[in-house]
Amino acid sequence: MEDKVYDYIILGAGVGGAIAADKVKKLTSNFLIVEQGGWPNPKNFTHKKSLLKYYRNSGVNPIFGKHIFSYAEGQGVGGGSVINGGLIWRTPDHILEEWISKYPENYHVRNISRYFDEVERELSVTIQKDYGNSVYDFDSYYLEKQGKRKKQKVVNVPRALKGCVRKNNCPSGCIVGAKQSLDKVYFKKVKDHILVEHRVLSVKKKGDLFSVKIKSDQGLKKIFSKKLVVSLGAVNSGFLLLNNKLIKSRSLEFQFHVNLKSIVVFKDNVFAQKGTMFTKQLQEYEKENIYIMPTNFNKVYLNTVSAGFSDDIKVYLNENLSKSAIYTTQIRPESKGRIRSFLGQKVVTNNFSKNDYKKMKRSLKILCELLFSDEVESIILPSRRGLMVTNENYIQAIDTLDPRGLDLLSVHLMSSVPLNSLEAGGLLNSFGELYESKGVFVLDSSILPSNIGESPQGTIMALAKSIVNTWTN
């Protein structure tokens, strides 16, 4: 019997894969989506089970270099959208202006705005009702209060939500189904076309066809298609293309954000676990590419953030659980990471510049300056053993802090296979197709022309929608 040939195979059922599937289903019924993880199941939305099932490599993916840190990415139908915060931002104005002036020939960045309306409608993007007091989301309430006091810009946060009841479980999966993750919004409509729990190993071009080797508990298998859409996430897509020589370079650059998580200990109880991820973000320093916001809080998340801290600080935090909240400073480094294939294995590296370290320290100073008041006892900064500072000593403590010891995490990776002209260093034409390999399309966070500073899901989806609008039979 001859092997079946699909018109399209989509590799990866994440954010970009959802937009690809939504378009491809209108072009043909002969398509397949291959995803390494399974369907999300709310029974598994506990911290422990979620890490195992819905985070690739349980959330630990090293970025090697002089300062080793980790990145996290989603796994399973819906990809990152199942375990992310559901924040759907539009591309920051200053980034969009930069793209339009730097890449005047890039049709999609000029037209991206119109697709945000579609994304926001489909994902039920909403600003959460604000209680305007400290009963729920104290951490967000306090951020706004301090912002107002210091006349700084704090904005409401747009999220993909329907009926959030503030269970504060967003990064382990939404147990009440309020988060509009893409398994629900897009993939349910194509469920008969999804092959779950199959890992993509390699891709080969044979004549006009692509042969994809996949692996499951049942063993190895080859599947064939006329066109291929690669949507495995910025690092995995880049690696697959490099490793299978669909791109001839020896390595690829990628860009990312860095998160630093600090713990603020208040003098009175704040019960930060009563609430959702966050409802307010400080955007006063947006042009410097620094954002500040709270994040989900409970004992498990606190233990994760403080895992490497000294015993003294751990004991202190344990005694002050109901008085604590976690805040994130997010920065856009100027350094770029690198993806290589070494003996067929993925190697991801980065080295921060002096400016990046300056920015990390500046972001911590901004955080302390903003949040310290009569209500705050101390802030524990994310140096590996934990650095406890007070309103009196934080400036000197941060000035003398060695930033190479900061505990960092990235959950936003992008721009490994940018959509741009060849002259601008792009690898994809305006159909999202590789210049170097006809019939191979890339549609995920890889395609962003550059680092956007703000959470990227909205921009990935809007750009992807603009691209698939060019696809015809």
Ligand X SMILES: Cc1cc2nc3c(=O)[nH]c(=O)nc-3n(C[C@H](O)[C@H](O)[C@H](O)COP(=O)(O)OP(=O)(O)OC[C@H]3O[C@@H](n4cnc5c(N)ncnc54)[C@H](O)[C@@H]3O)c2cc1C
Give contact residues for ligand X (rule: CB under 6 A).
12-16, 34-37, 56, 72-76, 79-81, 83-87, 171, 199-200, 231-234, 236, 411-412, 444-445, 455-458, 460
Q: Which long-range contacts (CB under 8 A, 24 or more apart) does 347-351 make?
A: 347/64, 348/61, 348/62, 348/63, 348/64, 348/71, 348/235, 348/254, 349/63, 349/64, 349/65, 350/63, 350/64, 350/65, 350/67, 350/256, 351/65, 351/66, 351/67
* Cβ proximity to ligand X, 198 vs 323, nearer residue: 198
Dihedral class, residue 68 (left if φ above 0, else alpha if ψ from -120 to 50, else beta):
beta
Which of 63/411 has CB closer to ligand X? 411
Question: What is the nearest approach in angstroms of ligand X to the Cβ of residue 363?
Answer: 18
Q: Give least dist CB 63 to ligand X, A.
A: 14
Q: How far is the CB of 441 from ligand X (least distance, A)?
A: 13
Nearer to ligand X, 256 or 316 (CB): 256
- Whichever of 77 and 388 has its CB closer to ligand X, that residue is 77
Radius of gyration of the chain (CA): 22
Judge contact between 170 and 306, C-beta under 8 A.
no
φ, ψ at 71 (rounded to 5°): -120, 155
The residue at minimum Cβ distance from ligand X is: 14
- Beta carbon nearer to ligand X, 137 or 444: 444
Report the Cα 14 to chain-centroid distance in Å.
11
**Least separation, in Å, of the C-beta of 269 and ligand X?**
27
Tell me if residue 93 falls in helix, strand or coil. helix
Task: Report the alpha-carbon distance of residue 367 to residue 296 in Å, rounded.
Answer: 17
Q: Look at strands 31-34 and 376-381 and give their pairing.
A: unpaired
Which of 350, 373, 365 shows the shortest CA–CA distance to 290? 365
Smaller CB separation from ligand X, 88 or 388: 88
The smaller minimum CB distance to ligand X, of residues 46 and 310, is found at 46
**CB 354, min distance to ligand X, A:** 27
Minimum CB distance to ligand X smaller for 53 or for 227 = 53
Q: Which residues contact 60 (CB under 8 A, 6 or more apart)?
A: 70, 72
Please give the angle made by the CA atoms of 212, 217 and 223, to the nearest 5 degrees. 20
CB of 273 to ligand X, least distance (A): 18
Q: Between 234 and 398, name the residue whose CB sits nearer to ligand X.
A: 234
C-beta separation of 158 from 120 below 8 A: yes
Q: What is the 3-state secondary structure (H, E, C) of 141-165?
A: HHHHHHHHHCCCCEEECEEEECCCC
H or E element at residue 228: strand 219-230
Q: How far is the CB of 73 from ligand X (least distance, A)?
A: 5
User: Going by DSSP bridges, is the β-strand pair 5-11/219-230 parallel, antiparallel, or unpaired?
Assistant: parallel
Give min distance, CB of 416 to ligand X, in A: 10
Q: How far is the CB of 335 from ligand X (least distance, A)?
A: 19
